[in-house]
Amino acid sequence: MSSKNISLVGAGLVGSLLSMYLAKRGHKVTIFERRSDMRKAGYVGGRSINLALSHRGFNGLRAIGLEEDIRKVGIPMYGRVIHQISGEIQYQAYGKEDEAIFSVSRGGLNKRLMELADMHPNINIQFDERCYDVDLDTATCHFENMLTHEKHEVKSDVVISADGAFSAARLAMQTKSDRFEYSQKYLDQGYKELTIPAGPNSEYLLEKNALHIWPRHNYMLIALPNLDGTFTCTLFFPFEGEVSFASLKTEAQVRNFLTTQFPDVVKLSPNVVQEYMANPNGALVTVKCFPWVYSDKLALLGDAAHAIVPFFGQGMNAGFEDCFEFGNLMEKHGDNWVELLNEFQHIRKANGDAIADMAVENFIEMRDKVADPKFLLRKKIEAKLNKLYPENYVSKYSLVSFSTKPYRYALEMGFRQDALFEKVLAIPSIETNWNSEETLPQLEALLKEYKFL
């Protein structure tokens, strides 16, 4: 395999990981990152402080030997804890006993990936370099140095763009290539981060090994644990409307709202109102586009190709899976980059669209359905079916979070599972009889009807 000179734009989570996949196969990679080196300057957020890393993400990290390292610094979350407004608490396991998604620090993970990339002799990272344009036919990137504002260009064999949801290379594709399809859709809900502090001796004030949800129909609060005993909460909330970011203007209004809707959080977090006033509101966007590649010259990866909303906790996981697939295809196609890039986009595009749609749908599940008795009953029956038929019945959530089956497959299975459960939940007295011997033949008949058996 001949070595290529590759310009990789963006040293975020996906760019840093991908650089190692490329370098491992002998390519020379220069990463250009708009920000200063976060290992020196500190992590400047703008996005969530912690992230849920699951099976696909670990699979991407495994190939470069980082899986165990990150597992050690991640906090396993084995299920959801639902906090009702009454103070009542329910627990729902995510999967089987040992299945967990992991809360990891975004900054910590990104720094670790950068550190490893930096140690590789084939990788060079240049910071404070903002890409503002790309010539597609010549694989030439145009950069502005963020400190000196000097401009320069770099020609390489291939440009890989991992520069996030507002990608400069994608914009170049959109404006300079024919028939480029592009859509961006914002939710009318945004997000704001808040904190639940640690107790004495860094003690966790809520169950540590769980993702906490306060579902409130039109909005919700979630919390993920951090290593220092704190929880980072995210309030997903309408931008406009009667109860919204726009309507809560004063500290008194915010205090009244939080105390009424999330009284337990206010008790645990004395500064939550001040935090609400001080912290910015973030927007949530889904970006879909096609093509993702240009001849053998350019490829979009990660959020640059498929930015999704965070309700399935899959954006980074999907990006790490892009890297994994890219690695396999480099192996398969060797020097034929036209085929490599083409097959990459055809495999990944359908899956990117599928997880984008499932992520939007999961918002409704998290904010509305998790507290619904029918949903809870479905989860119990699904766990039972999975135990009885582990090969035949795997819930959509498990397919997404605990497997590497294509997202497209999980989406299709999800439709069939919804149709199945319309009938299952309509069985008379299912609420009381779901676990009985007498009900099993009915469940099995339905599993056969919907082709799970």
Give CA–CA dist 272/234, Å, rounded.
12
Chain Cα centroid distance, residue 426? 34
315 belongs to the binding site for ligand FAD (CB under 6 A):
yes
Residue in the shown chain whose Cβ atom is closest to ligand FAD: 12
Task: Report 119-138 residues binding ligand FAD (CB under 6 A).
Answer: 130-131
Closest approach, Cβ 272 to ligand FAD, in A, equals: 18
Least distance CB 88 / ligand FAD (angstroms):
26
Site membership for ligand FAD, residue 164 (CB under 6 A): yes
List the alpha helices (DSSP H) in 368-429.
373-388, 396-401, 407-424
> Which of 32/421 has CB closer to ligand FAD?
32
Q: What are phi and psi of 200, to 5 degrees?
A: -55, 145
Site size toward ligand FAD (CB under 6 A) is 32
Sequence letter at residue 440: L
Residue 233 C-beta: closest distance to ligand FAD, Å: 11
Q: Residue 83 or residue 106: which is nearer to ligand FAD going by CB?
A: 106
Work out how close the CB of 343 gets to ligand FAD at its nearest, in angstroms, rounded to a whole number. Answer: 20
- From 33-41, 353-361, 376-384, 429-437, span contacting ligand FAD (CB under 6 A): 33-41
Single out the segment in contact with ligand FAD by CB under 6 A; choices: 90-98, 120-128, 145-153, 161-169: 161-169
> Shortest Cβ distance from residue 87 to ligand FAD (Å)?
27
H or E element, residue 181: strand 181-186
60 binds ligand FAD (CB under 6 A): no
| Cα–Cα distance, 449 to 453 (Å, whole number) | 8
Burial class (CB in 10 A: 0-12, 13-18, 19+), 259: middle
Contact between 352 and ligand FAD per CB under 6 A:
no
Distances (CA, A) of 235 to 190, 201, 223, 253: 8, 27, 9, 16
Q: Please answer whether residues 136 and 173 qualify as being in contact, where contact means their C-beta atoms are separated by less than 8 angstroms.
A: yes
**Residue spans of beta strands (DSSP E) within 71-117:** 75-77, 79-83, 89-93, 101-105
Helices (H) and strands (E) in the chain, counts: 17, 20
Span 241-280, contacts to ligand FAD by CB under 6 A: none
Residue 112 in the binding site for ligand FAD (CB under 6 A): no
194 binds ligand FAD (CB under 6 A): no
Tell the smallest beta-carbon distance from residue 197 to ligand FAD (Å). 20
Stretch that binds ligand FAD, among 200-208, 315-323, 356-364, 375-383 (CB under 6 A): 315-323
Element (H, E) at 171: helix 168-176
Q: Does 191 bind ligand FAD (CB under 6 A)?
A: yes
Nearest to ligand FAD of 167, 269 (CB atom): 167
Phi and psi, residue 260, nearest 5°: -75, -45
Q: Using CB under 6 A, pick the residue from 95, 319, 327, 352 that binds ligand FAD.
A: 319
* Strand order, beta sheet including 75-77: 50-53, 101-105, 75-77
Of the candidate spans 28-36, 67-75, 340-348, 372-380, the one that interacts with ligand FAD by CB under 6 A turns out to be: 28-36
Distance, in Å, from the CA atom of 53 to the CA atom of 359, rounded to the nearest integer, reads: 15
Q: Which two tokens stand for residue 62?
A: 């495994």
| Closer residue to ligand FAD in complex, CB, 15/291 | 15
| 313 lies in the binding site for ligand FAD (CB under 6 A) | yes
Binding site for ligand FAD (CB under 6 A): 9-15, 32-35, 47-48, 51-52, 130-131, 162-164, 168, 191, 234, 302-303, 310, 313-317, 319
